[in-house]
Homo-oligomer: A and B are copies of this chain.
Amino acid sequence: MIPRYSRPEMAAIWEPRNRYRIWFEIEALVAERQGELGQIPREAARAIREKGGPRVASMTEADLARIDAIEAEVRHDVIAFLTWLGEGIGPEARFLHQGLTSSDVLDTTLAVQFTQALDLIDRGLARLLDALKARALEHRHTVTIGRSHGIHAEPTSFGLKLAGHWAEFARGRERLAAARREIGTCAISGAVGTFAHVDPSIEAFVAARLGLAVEPVSTQVIPRDRHAMVFAVLAVIAAGIERLAIEIRHLQRSEVREAEEYFHPGQKGSSAMPHKRNPVLSENLTGLARLVRGMVVPALENVALWHERDISHSSVERVIAPDATIALDFALQRLAGMIETLVIYPERMAANLEALGGVVHSGEVLLALTQAGMSREAAYAAVQRNAMATWAALGTEGARTFRDHLLADPEVTAYLDAAAIDRAMDPRLHLRHVDTVLARVFGDDEERPGDVDGG
C-alpha cells in the first residue's frame, strides 16, 4: 500500500524485519522441541536461540540485502534466510529446519502477522465505536429528518442514525474476532501434511508458544478458506465505512449542510474556487472501501489450490494481505478522527425538516385518519392529494403548508380537527422510543438521559 494510506504500526507488521523475526521464532521453537525430544542435540537448539536471536533482533539493511542476494541465486526465500542465519550460528545451523517444509514456516508466520494486523484493526474499530457512541449520545434527542430513497420520510434523531452505524461496526468487530480465531492456526506438518519428518507434538509446542491453535489438517499449507474469510470480513467492514462515509457526504452537500468534516485552518478546498469546503475525507474513505472490497475477489480465487498446494496464492497474498489490512487500518483511524471532530448543525436539521411544508407528517396523519374510522384507501388518497398539492407549490409566494391544505379539505376535517392534526404533526412523537432503542444498542446503563454528559 502506498505510504499516503499507511500507518507505520501496521506497515511494520508486513515489513521484512517482522517476517524474519517470526520465521526465526518458529525455527528456534522447533529446534527447542526437537532438542527436548532428543531429535537434535539440546545444545544445538540452545546455540540457535542464543546466536540466532540477537542476529535477527539486530538486522541491518546490509543483512536484508545479503538475504536478497542469496535468494537471487537459490530462488527460494526461506533457504536464503536460513543460509544467512546459519552464517551467524555456525555448525549447529545444520540442525535448523529439520524435517520442516518452507510452508510450515511461511504459513504459520502469515497467521501470526494476520493476528497482529487484525488486532490493530480491532483497535481502530474500538476507537471508531467510541466516537460514534459519544456522538450518538450527544445527539440522542437532536431531531432530524429521516430519508428513504433520498426523499424526506419522517423525523428521527441524529443520535439514532449514528447508533445504527455503531451497531454495524460492533457486528464488524465480532466478525473480526471470529476471523482472527479462524486465521490463528499453526501448521508444522511437513511437505504434504503427513508429519512424516516432524512429530505432531512439535506443532502443538510451537502453536502454544505463539498463541495459535493447531491446524487440524493441513496439506502443505494452511487451507485458504481461512484467509478468504478474513478478506471477506475486512470487505464487509469496508462496506460499513463506505455507508457512513456516504452518509457524511450527503449531509455535507451544499443543499443539506447538516454536518461537515472539520476544515483545518489553512486548508484549501480547491485551487480555483476558494469558497469550497469538500468532504474529502469521506470521499477518500469511499475509495479506500472500494479497494478493500475488491480484494475479496482474488482472495476467493486463492482457495482452490491444486492438490496439496500450488503457489499461485503467494503473489496475491504478498500484495493484498498488507494492502487490505493497511488500507482498512488507515481508513478506520481516519474515519474515527472524522467522527470525533465532525461539525454537526442541529439548527440546519430543524430547518430542513420543515422545508417541505410539513408533508413529512403524512404518515401520522394517515394513521390518525384510519384510526378515526376512515377507510385506508380513502385516507391514503386524501393525504396524498393534499401532500402533493403542498409539494407542488413549495417555494412559491404564499404557498400553503400541508396543515393549511388538510384543514381546507372537508373529507379530512370530517374525521380530524385542527388539534388532532397538530398532534399528528408533532415531531416529538417520533422520538419517544429512541431511548429504548439506544438502550438495546448500547446497553441499559446508557439509557438514562442523565448519563449523556459523561458519554
Contact = CB atoms under 8 A, between A and B. Distances in A.
14 contacts: A2-B318, A102-B270, A102-B272, A148-B276, A149-B310, A155-B194, A156-B194, A200-B436, A200-B437, A228-B236, A232-B232, A236-B303, A275-B387, A290-B302
B297 A152 contact: no
B75 A268 contact: yes
Contact of A288 (B305, B315, B380): B315
Interface stretch (A108-116, A359-367, A413-421, A447-455): A359-367
A223 interface: yes
A191 B223 CA distance: 37
Contacts of A370: 94, 98
Interface string A338-356: 0000000001100110011
A319 B323 CA distance: 10
- Oligomer copy total: 4
Contacts of A250: 150, 306-307
A434 interface: yes
Given A217-B164, A319-B323, A312 B286 contact: yes
A239 interface: yes
A216 interface: yes
A17 to B, nearest CB: 15
A71 to B, nearest CB: 10
Is chain A's interface secondary structure helix, strand, loop, or mixed overall? helix
A264 interface: yes
Contacts of A314: 283-284, 287
A190 to B, nearest CB: 7
Contact of A171 (B161, B225, B255, B295): B225
A394 B256 CA distance: 12
B304 A191 contact: no
A100 interface: yes
Contact of A146 (B182, B194, B239, B311): B194
A195 to B, nearest CB: 4
Interface string A195-232: 11100100000000000001011111001111011001
Contacts of A293: 297-298, 300-301
A280 interface: yes
Interface stretch (A49-57, A121-129, A425-433): A425-433
A4 B77 CA distance: 12
B441 A225 contact: no
